Structure 1
Amino acid sequence: MKRVLVAIGIVALTFGFTLALHAAEKGKTVGKKERKGIQGMSQEELVKLAMSAAPEQISKDATVMIPGPDGKMVEAKKGTNGFTCLPDVDGMPVPDPICYDGQSGQWVGDLMGGAPKPTNTAPGIAYMARGGWHFEKDGKILMKNEEGAKTMQEPPHWMVFWPFDSKASGIPSMPNKLGSYVMWDGTPYAHLMIYQDPKKMK
């Protein structure tokens, strides 16, 4: 039970933090048509959206957490494979669902809790088959939004939450045509971004 409560706490903290962080962006038009994110979606729609983040062989056995009527995260589907799926991360007009494993949950919990560095003991894996968002300013990707930053949409991708160094690995520190880069390079929370559609992974 303790592990379940800790996991739910991490999910709720992550969801609440990102919604607050990007609240100013919610009214922004994306593409030709503005959308309202996950507002007004039914439980069935939220579960389906959350599960769309990962390959079916992962999402079908994953736990699904969705916001309840009071905004707090509740378990909508109990999983068996250690992965957790959320219908939205950044609270933007276009939802960006995610599915992640336990090591990723530890990594995210450390980040949101202000830990100096992540404490996961193995690489964490997370999928975002509908893409996501990041902030750029002066040719760098920021860890959080700030004045003058641009909101950039990411294509479908998956992530490895484990220490990566751009110079040591030769992997670029910004998005590029090769499809992989180290996000937040030079920080303890640097991690690998891979522009590969999880839905096409076999």
Structure 2
Amino acid sequence: MHTSSIHWFTVAAMLLAVIGAAQAADNSKPTDAQLIASAMRAAPKRVAKDATIIAMGADGQMRTLRKGSNDFTCMPDNPATPGPDSMCMDKNATEWVNAYMAHKTPPAGKLGLMYMLEGGTDASNTDPYAKKPDGNNHWIKTGPHFMIVGADPAFYANYPKSPNPDTAVPYVMWAGTPYEHLMAPIK
């Protein structure tokens, strides 16, 4: 084989190895620093800087990445879902989310605040547990917003509860369910 042929073959092989390594690095799981940065983008800087940061571990269990000094807990974007999902919530909203995840009634009389300043993955406005649009579950797109959860039902009386809301103004999501909450866009 000619010397220049060997040289180009070697260079091509090295280039493919570098490209393969770069692609593998892109598909690897995020570092704790990346997860913390993602979680902190969910809330105003003054809230996020002192919040506890948690993330879902590979075993499905939550793990603490950073202990905070205020009553907020932030979670990073979930790389397994399309769109941003980072969120930051106060203590009462955390209890509300835990009840939702367990399919239980949220605690009464505990008004909570949640931030999703990067927006959220599209969701049903009527079915809290819908996984995808089906034509009857009123799929909506949400931009950057904050949420008020756990309010007395009378709180929601003056806000639109349409299955197909104008997401540019405050509206009630999951109206008539134990998980109804106010969605308040910020842009």
TM-score w.r.t. length of structure 2:
0.71
- Residue matched to 1:191: 181
Amino-acid identity (%): 33
Report the RMSD for the aligned CA atoms in angstroms: 2.7
Find the structure with the greater CA-based Rg.
2
User: Contact 2:121–2:142 at 8 Å: present in 1 too?
Assistant: yes
Change (3 A) 1:166 1:39: farther
Aligned pair partner of 1:106 in 95, 103, 109 = 95
Deviation at 1:109? 1.5
User: Contact 1:164–1:192 at 8 Å: present in 2 too?
Assistant: no
User: Contact 1:166–1:185 at 8 Å: present in 2 too?
Assistant: no
- Residue matched to 1:85: 74
Q: 2 CA distance for matches of 1:167 and 1:61?
A: 29
SS in 2 for 1:57: helix
User: Contact 2:128–2:179 at 8 Å: present in 1 too?
Assistant: no
Change (3 A) 1:166 1:45: same
Correspondence 1:48 to 2:34: no
Change (3 A) 1:69 1:92: closer
Q: 2 CA distance for matches of 1:159 and 1:86?
A: 15
Aligned residues: 156
Q: Which structure 1 segments of 5+ residues have no match? A: 1-37, 198-202
- Residue matched to 2:112: 124
Change (3 A) 1:168 1:65: closer
SS in 2 for 1:75: strand
Q: 2 CA distance for matches of 1:181 and 1:124?
A: 16
User: Contact 2:119–2:143 at 8 Å: present in 1 too?
Assistant: yes
Q: How does 1:1-40 map to 2 (within 5 A)?
A: 40=29
Bigger relative contact order, structure 1 or 2 (CA pairs below 8 A, ≥6 apart):
1
Aligned pair partner of 1:156 in 139, 144, 159 = 144
Q: 1 CA distance for matches of 2:61 and 2:83?
A: 20
- Residue matched to 1:141: 126
Change (3 A) 1:111 1:69: closer
Change (3 A) 1:60 1:145: same
User: Contact 2:83–2:121 at 8 Å: present in 1 too?
Assistant: no
Runs of 4+, deviation exceeding 4 Å: 164-168
Q: 1 CA distance for matches of 2:126 and 2:28?
A: 28
Q: 1 CA distance for matches of 2:118 and 2:172?
A: 19
